[in-house]
Structures are given as structure tokens and as C-alpha cells.
Structure 1
Amino acid sequence: MKILVINGPNLNMLGRRDAEHYGTDTLPAIGRALTEKSKSLGCELTFFQSNHEGAIVDFIQGNADEADGILINPAALTHYGYSLHDALLDAGLPVVEVHLSDIKAREKWRQISVIADIAVKQISGLKKQSYILGLEALVEHINSGEKK
């Protein structure tokens, strides 16, 4: 089983961003934790991060055919990334959306997700653990044979 793990704008700066909302883990540390978890789940992870929506769309389009699911933290693209939404939809894969902070408890504009309607699950507010639980949920969904 192959999972694409995608991180959006500014997540490359984790560890230097607002620790109250995002925690103190760096993106590489989160990647290592996911890689460790993937061993017990029997899946292979392919990581990608970009600050540019078009690059993320290109990555999805170029890799979806060899993947079984997508774990994504769209970051700021959560709120306005319509081309990202469409690329995820067109990929035809189950998607789990994760966020380090609780987007429902933040500013009004951060509470809206244009990705949520195509995700099989959204997990937020648990910092690094959002990713771990998201990966578990995605693998469980894929193994269940359910379609989105």
C-alpha cells in the first residue's frame, strides 16, 4: 500500500512557527514519526511539501496512479485551494485531511475547509498526533474496501 503524504505552504517552517498552535516538532520529525508508524501499518510513504499550489497539483497528478491514498495537510490552501480540491477529487483516491491546530477554534476564515467535502476524515488540533491518527484512519479506510 502506497500513501502520498502532502504538506502545504509554510509547513517547512515548523519548529519555528507559533508553538501554541503548531507545536514544536519540525516537518522532518513528523515525517520520521509517520515512517515509524507506517512500518506497523504495512504501508509505504512518499513525502512532498511545497509552498506553491501548482506544484502540489502537479505532484498529485504525477503520482496518484501509483498510490492508494493521500494524507494531506493543505495548510493555508485549506481555505481557498480550489485547484487543489479538484486535483484531489480527480485523483480518485481516499483523502484524509489533517491539521496541527484546531482550525474550528481559530479565526473565522481558518474555520472553512474547501477540502473537507472530499475527505473521508478530517483530524485537527492534535499537533503531530493528527498526522499519526490520520495515517491510521486512511489505512483503515483503504483496508475496508470502502469507496469515498
Structure 2
Amino acid sequence: MKVLIIHGPNMNLLGKHSQARLTLDKLNRSIRRFSREQSIQIKIFQTHDEAKVVTLLQRNRNKVDGVIISLGSWHPYAYTLLDTLKLINLPYRVVENKIIAKQYIEKTIFKLKNIIQNEDFEKAYIQGIKQVLNQ
């Protein structure tokens, strides 16, 4: 099984938001550790550019079994991204820190059933991986 992990805008500054001092590097290490334990292959990508995410999804549509993405401020207006996710027809979950992204999730264009909100980002990503692989 292979999962594509996409960290959206400002995730490189995660440590600035996190009360637990979670950095993107620590989050990635946690995701990799879980994936190794479960024999899951992962590909991790971070960008502030929605067009790059669309290209990444299109290029990997036949190479992965699911997608985990953190949208942050893209929630209210990422119509192209949502359309791409529908077109590639892969299971996906949007993972967010419940506190940091609250204002965006309230205005999201994504179905709430596909959004995992948790105060613990690491748990949200792991829960997302489990859900996309069990679909």
C-alpha cells in the first residue's frame, strides 16, 4: 500500500502554532515511523502552491492507494483541488489541527466526512492513513 501525504500552506512553520512544539520534521518522522510499522509506503510533499498539489495528484494518481492532505487556508476556495481529487478517484482525507484550522474548516468546500480534526496533528495523520487504506 502506498499513500501520498501533502502538507499545505505554512506547514513548514508548524512549530510556531503548536503548543506541543511539534515541527513539520517531527510530524514527518512520526508519520514515517507509523508507516514503517504498518508496512505502508509513503511519499511526503509540502508546498504553498495549490497548482503544484494538483500536478502532484495527477502524476501520482496511478501510483498511490490514497491521499492525505492538510489544506489550512485553502479550505474555503480550493475548487480546483477538490475537482482533481474527484477526478483521480482515490480515497482521501483532509487532516487538520482542530484549533489552528477552525476558522477555515467552518467555511470548507470539502465534505465534513472526509475531514479529520484533532488537536493532536500526529494522531490526525495516522487516523487519516488508516481510514484511506480501509476504504
**Higher relative helix content:** 1
1:66 Cα deviation from its structure 2 partner: 0.6
1:100 is aligned to 2:94: no
CA offset digits 1:84-143 (Å, max 9, x no partner) = 111111111000111012478x33x541222226xx6321132322112111222222xx
1:13 is aligned to 2:13: yes
1:58 Cα deviation from its structure 2 partner: 0.9
Q: Counterparts of 1:32-71 in structure 2 under 5 Å?
A: 32-71=29-68
Match of 2:126 in 1: 132
Q: Give the aligned CA root-mean-square deviation in angstroms.
A: 2.0
1:38 Cα deviation from its structure 2 partner: 0.9
Amino acid across the alignment from 2:109 = V
1:122 is aligned to 2:115: yes
Match of 1:146 in 2: none
- Segments of 5+ residues of structure 1 without an aligned counterpart are 142-148
TM-score for both structures, normalised by structure 2: 0.88
> 1:102 and 1:137, CA in 2 relative to 1: closer, same or farther beyond 3 A?
farther
- % same residue: 27
4+ residue stretches of structure 1 with deviation over 6 A? none
Amino acid across the alignment from 1:122 = I
Match of 2:106 in 1: 111
> 1:132 and 1:114, CA in 2 relative to 1: closer, same or farther beyond 3 A?
same
1:83 is aligned to 2:76: no
The DSSP-based 3-state class of the residue aligned with 1:45 is strand
CA distance in 2, matches of 1:121, 1:110: 12
CA distance in 2, matches of 1:45, 1:126: 23
CA distance in 1, matches of 2:18, 2:22: 9
Residue pair 2:65, 2:133 contacting (<8 A) in 1 also = no
